[in-house]
Amino acid sequence: MWLGGRLWLQVFGQVCSNLRRLTFDRTWGGRRGPMAETLSTGVEAASGLGAPAQQNGDAGGDARGEQPPGRPELAGPGVEPAPGDAKQAAGSGEQAATAAPGPGKRKKRRGATGERVVPPPKKRRAGVSFGDEHFAETSYYFEGGLRKVRPYYFDFRTYCKGRWVGHSLLHVFSTEFRAQPLAYYEAAVRAGRLHLNEEPVQDLSVVLKDNDFLRNTVHRHEPPVTADPVRLLAENEDVVVVDKPSSIPVHPCGRFRHNTVIFILGKEHQLKELHPLHRLDRLTSGVLMFAKTAAVSERIHEQVRDRQLEKEYVCRVEGEFPAEEVTCKEPILVVSYKVGVCRVDPRGKPCETVFQRLSYNGHSSVVRCRPLTGRTHQIRVHLQFLGHPILNDPIYNSIAWGPSRGRGGHIPKTDEELLRDLVAEHQAKQSLDVLDLCEGDLSPGFPDSTAPSSELGKDCLGELAASAQKMDGAVEAGPQDLDTVPLASGKATEIDVVDQETDPLCAECRLVRQDPLPQDLVMFLHALCYKGPGFEYFSPMPAWAQDDWQED
């Protein structure tokens, strides 16, 4: 009896042990965490299982376990090892990680022997952030009423776009970056200025892959802006409020970087990590608010969404504006996001602006504007529709809109013809910056600016071109044959000169341009007031809005 009980106890104990093991396997078998997978990978690598790691043809640093500068160290299986683990992973760590992926993990695709392998993408930091290293890229100087930026070297960085995958760098440069001739990019390769995944490009025939990271070092020239200072209107622990001059963009865009409000505040007022709370067009002046923290930014943006904020503008328009208050509720449609042009159209978004005339001098009127919604170019488009465009608006008071300049929404051309004529006009005036464009933006698929529509007229374009040439005075001051530019080969030609203002490859360095007049950089639209729950900020009335202002 006792023996039978003892045997029964042994059987019972074995059954319990099996049940515990089964339960553990079911619970944790499919949940092997990064630590468990890393350990198993390390064991397989240490035991020398699998084939040797493949070398990365054009960018061999990746196969050696080296990461490009600025690339974060990634942990866990199926990623490149950190620099300190390079020797341990030199065996088959990569192969082992691919051979035994955990449940739900995608296998990491590795190239065949000799095939170029693309490193994992960098971890991007959310939000806009500029520090001392960015502000120190170059310096300002003031001349002729203008704020100018000394030319400087700058790295354009981008990941390979989907439409580039499978195409060579030569194809991409020849089809999408036509601002420079192919000879320039060939010279840039010889000078070591083009990098693919942080390795110097040796041949433009290299075929691009998904996640390829491109870096192009260029000699950058920024257009001048007005020398008027960015004045502080108010500052507390939550916000910074400034009086933005006309012609200065809020943040880096297009050809502008240091000649922006964000950079000027950082460099001259040591105000950094700012969050713009609203935007003003580059040519618009007046009250501009920034939050000092993300929390304050979110709080005020919540007030914007709840329609708790009010804005007032003042402008000077053509003709005698009606004396009574005028409300315009015409819907606005974006014609082109790239060019930044809108028009009144029934398919557009609903919006509303209230106008009140302040004065009339016999030729033009000063008008107070209250936009009750926040559509792009809302005030400018509504004034154009009403037949009183802003006096010197370079877009909505342009001949490109036809004889009536868009009054009543009458535009005798298609959107494509309108864009083409606007671009042609500003190309002839050497003022593509007004459209936030440069020559390099005029790529295939963009309206052909060399073929103006009949509404604009070739005679008119000829006059524009002649006057622009006389005004601009841009002349070629050097040879254009880049094959004759003496350049050493290899890394010896990497940029190693601080504050160098001329560059042998830079076409802009070979042009001598006449500066614009400061008054040509001002549009008569000013943000006068910005108020919300618990705050109200005002900017002084500009000179052109005064009663005694006289037109030139």
Supply the residues annotated as catalytic: 281
Q: What is residue 537's three-state secondary structure? A: strand
Adjacent-strand bridge partners of 448: none
Q: Under a CB-based contact definition with an 8 Å cutoff, are residues 449 and 423 in contact? A: yes
Structure tokens at 379: 């005030």
Residue type, 299: R
Question: Residue 240: which residues within 8 A CB-CB, separation 6 or more?
Answer: 232, 234, 265, 271, 274, 289, 290, 292
| Beta strands 225-226; 146-149: pairing state | antiparallel
Whole-number Å distance between alpha carbons of 191 and 196: 14
Task: Measure the CA–CA gap between 528 and 358, rounded to whole angstroms.
Answer: 13
**Residue given tokens 């950079």 in the structure block:** 263
Exposed / middle / buried, residue 205 (Cβ in 10 Å: 0-12, 13-18, 19+): exposed
Amino acid (one-letter) located at 46: A
Per DSSP, the residues of 127-146 read S----HHHHTT--EEEETTE
In terms of Cβ atoms closer than 10 Å to its own Cβ (0-12, 13-18, 19+), residue 303 is middle
Report the C-alpha gap between 160 and 145 in whole angstroms.
Answer: 41
Task: Say how far apart CA 183 and CA 189 lie, in whole Å.
Answer: 10
By C-alpha distance, which of 343, 374, 353 is closest to 278? 374
Report whether 130 contacts 107 (CB < 8 A).
Answer: no
